[in-house]
């Protein structure tokens, strides 16, 4: 009997496994694929953009260096010579293929964006992410069994059993991280609702006889969309056929060439196609992320178009949010209702991502209405406010949970406070405990934390930039649970600490 069985060793299942392993849970991961690597996961088709929020998650667990190395080491998400003020981003992202100008991001409007080694998004591959996470999971004592396809799930009040062929795997909790076509989702009776697709998307690695006929980057044309990335022969396309082609047939070279010619309005020739697959913009989400002892995370809980690259980022956010809460439930010291805050916080986040993706699809359609909208959006993202708004959405920095506080920092990811002794908040979060950062002169929070150090690390000292605060309480997932002014209110702190970490510890 394990504490937790995770179905699926994709990036989300592995990230969650590491979180649970870090918290001391016994974890078994069951994965259908016999091997970790695959051409679908390596560059170019496995290329994935990580948002600043995801990069921050790796940083906070001490994995950023490994991820950068595994990703080829060309990206540095922390470039920032000034220790006190965050520079504008180097890449700001896009909305529906319309690129943002990083110089137009108004950093003054993002006051909580402090300098950090994880300030920016970066490009990586699924292979790099999974390799780094698998290695860490192994170090944390997580057991990963590959070549096992889960086909049954049964639960009662005390436990849950995953079935694979004749074998059964029992645990106190089970998390389905088994992707967009999740088996666990269906077996455990989750309701999956949303909207049907408008397009079939294609991603391929091909040899193009005359690549000069295609334009680089995102191209919104009168007949569809195509994207040519800087990697030779790596093309994505969107064909607005209501998703009819997807899964109905295998994409042949002739078919891919015909679609590419149509959406690009050229007579470009594909001389060879090495790998190709299809996807759609079907946008669905489960109505809850928990049914008894079964939970869902990642694509198993929400699917949407990959345009704007948010699926993996949302899944990593799920794993960060769920890990410490489930670990506290396993240990038996979770405050009442803690696990339910997983759905309460992550479902609205997922719903926003689905809508963001729908909004992009709506303006990418090859029709006069969408073209008119493109003009409006271009005008808006030509302004500082418009660019800053879109940047805050795509980087994840505007994602704020409603934790019942009016303080603007509560519910947001914590700024990477730098203490005068050179320690950063990110360094203090590597063991997965909460952090009470006390900037007050008289170390007011020391007393209230005493006795709760197994769950909250107490660190006192002045910060280079304390944003006018006297103290903050940061949850293990990096979210600010409470913020106090220059003279922090110890009782309010103790209440917040008890609320998130349990009474007896504080």
Ligand X SMILES: Cc1cc2nc3c(=O)[nH]c(=O)nc-3n(C[C@H](O)[C@H](O)[C@H](O)COP(=O)(O)OP(=O)(O)OC[C@H]3O[C@@H](n4cnc5c(N)ncnc54)[C@H](O)[C@@H]3O)c2cc1C
Compute the least distance from the CB of residue 19 to ligand X, in Å: 14
Residue 113: phi and psi, rounded to 5, are: -90, 85
Please identify, using beta-carbon distances, which residue of 147 and 222 lies nearer to ligand X. 147
Compute the least distance from the CB of residue 74 to ligand X, in Å: 16
Please identify, using beta-carbon distances, which residue of 306 and 448 lies nearer to ligand X. 306
DSSP state, residue 413: B
Compute the least distance from the CB of residue 317 to ligand X, in Å: 10
Question: What is the Cα–Cα distance from 47 to 96, expressed in whole angstroms?
Answer: 19
Please identify, using beta-carbon distances, which residue of 205 and 424 lies nearer to ligand X. 205
Q: Which residue is nearest to ligand X (CB)?
A: 10
Question: What is the Cα–Cα distance from 292 to 47, expressed in whole angstroms?
Answer: 35
Please identify, using beta-carbon distances, which residue of 26 and 229 lies nearer to ligand X. 229
- The structure tokens 């695959």 sit at 38
- The structure tokens 């704020």 sit at 400
Whether 210 contacts 164, CB under 8 Å:
no
User: Which segments within 120-268 are labelled E, that is strand?
Assistant: 122-125, 143-146, 152-155, 160-164, 167-176, 192-195, 200-208, 217-221, 224-228, 234-239
Please identify, using beta-carbon distances, which residue of 279 and 356 lies nearer to ligand X. 279
CA distances (Å), origin 434, targets 33, 62, 324, 422: 35, 15, 10, 20
Compute the least distance from the CB of residue 375 to ligand X, in Å: 26
Task: Using CB under 6 A, list all residues that contact ligand X.
Answer: 7-13, 30-33, 48-49, 149-150, 177-179, 183, 203, 279, 298-299, 306, 309-313, 315
Please identify, using beta-carbon distances, which residue of 301 and 480 lies nearer to ligand X. 301
Please identify, using beta-carbon distances, which residue of 313 and 395 lies nearer to ligand X. 313
What HEC string does 91-148 produce? Answer: CCCEECCEECCHHHCCHHHCCCCCCCCCCCCEEEEHHHHHHHHHHHHHHCCCEEEECC
Surface-to-core class of residue 386, CB atoms within 10 Å of its CB (0-12 exposed, 13-18 middle, 19+ buried): middle
Helices (H), 188-250: none
């Amino acid at each position: 009997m394990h504490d937790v069985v995770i179905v699926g060793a994709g990036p989300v299942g592995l990230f969650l496994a590491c979180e649970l392993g870090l918290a001391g849970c016994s974890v078994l991961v069951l994965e259908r694929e016999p091997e970790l690597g695959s051409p679908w996961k390596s560059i170019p088709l496995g290329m994935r953009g990580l948002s600043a929020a995801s990069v921050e998650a790796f940083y906070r667990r001490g994995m950023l260096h490994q991820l950068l190395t595994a990703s080829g080491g060309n990206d540095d998400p922390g470039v920032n010579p000034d220790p006190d003020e965050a520079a504008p981003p180097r890449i700001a992202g896009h909305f529906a293929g319309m690129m943002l100008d990083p110089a137009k991001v108004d950093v003054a409007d993002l006051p909580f964006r402090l300098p950090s080694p994880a300030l920016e998004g970066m490009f990586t591959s699924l292979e790099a992410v999974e390799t780094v996470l698998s290695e860490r999971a192994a170090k944390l004592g997580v057991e990963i069994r590959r070549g096992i396809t889960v086909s049954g799930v049964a639960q009662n009040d005390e436990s849950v059993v995953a079935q694979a062929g004749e074998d059964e795997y029992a645990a106190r909790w089970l998390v389905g991280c088994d992707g967009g076509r999740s088996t666990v989702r269906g077996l455990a009776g989750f309701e999956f609702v949303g909207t049907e697709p408008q397009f079939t998307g294609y991603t391929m690695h091909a040899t193009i006889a005359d690549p000069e006929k295609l334009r680089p980057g995102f191209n919104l044309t009168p007949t569809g969309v195509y994207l040519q990335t800087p990697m030779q022969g790596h093309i994505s396309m969107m064909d607005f056929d209501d998703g009819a082609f997807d899964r109905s047939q295998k994409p042949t070279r002739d078919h891919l060439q015909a679609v590419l010619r149509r959406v690009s309005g050229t007579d470009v020739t594909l001389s060879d196609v090495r790998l190709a697959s299809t996807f759609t913009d079907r946008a669905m989400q489960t109505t809850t992320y928990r049914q008894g002892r079964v939970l869902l995370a990642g694509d198993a809980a929400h699917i949407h178009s990959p345009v704007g690259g948010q699926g993996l980022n949302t899944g990593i956010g799920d794993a960060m949010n769920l890990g410490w809460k489930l670990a506290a439930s396993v240990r038996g010291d979770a405050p009442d209702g803690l696990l339910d805050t997983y759905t309460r916080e992550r479902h609205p986040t997922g719903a926003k991502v689905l809508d963001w993706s729908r909004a992009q699809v709506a303006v990418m359609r090859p029709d006069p209405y969408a073209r008119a909208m493109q003009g409006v959006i271009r005008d808006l993202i030509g302004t500082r406010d418009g660019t800053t708004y879109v940047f805050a959405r795509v980087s994840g920095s505007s994602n704020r949970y409603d934790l019942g506080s009016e303080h603007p920092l509560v519910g947001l990811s914590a700024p990477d406070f730098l203490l005068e002794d050179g320690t950063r908040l990110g360094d203090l979060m590597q063991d997965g405990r909460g952090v009470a950062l006390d900037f007050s002169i008289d170390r007011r929070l020391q007393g209230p934390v005493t006795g709760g150090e197994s769950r909250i690390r107490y660190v006192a000292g002045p910060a280079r930039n304390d944003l006018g605060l006297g103290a903050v309480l940061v949850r293990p997932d990096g979210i600010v649970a409470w913020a106090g002014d220059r003279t922090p209110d110890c009782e309010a702190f103790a209440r917040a600490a008890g609320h998130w970490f349990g009474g007896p510890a504080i």
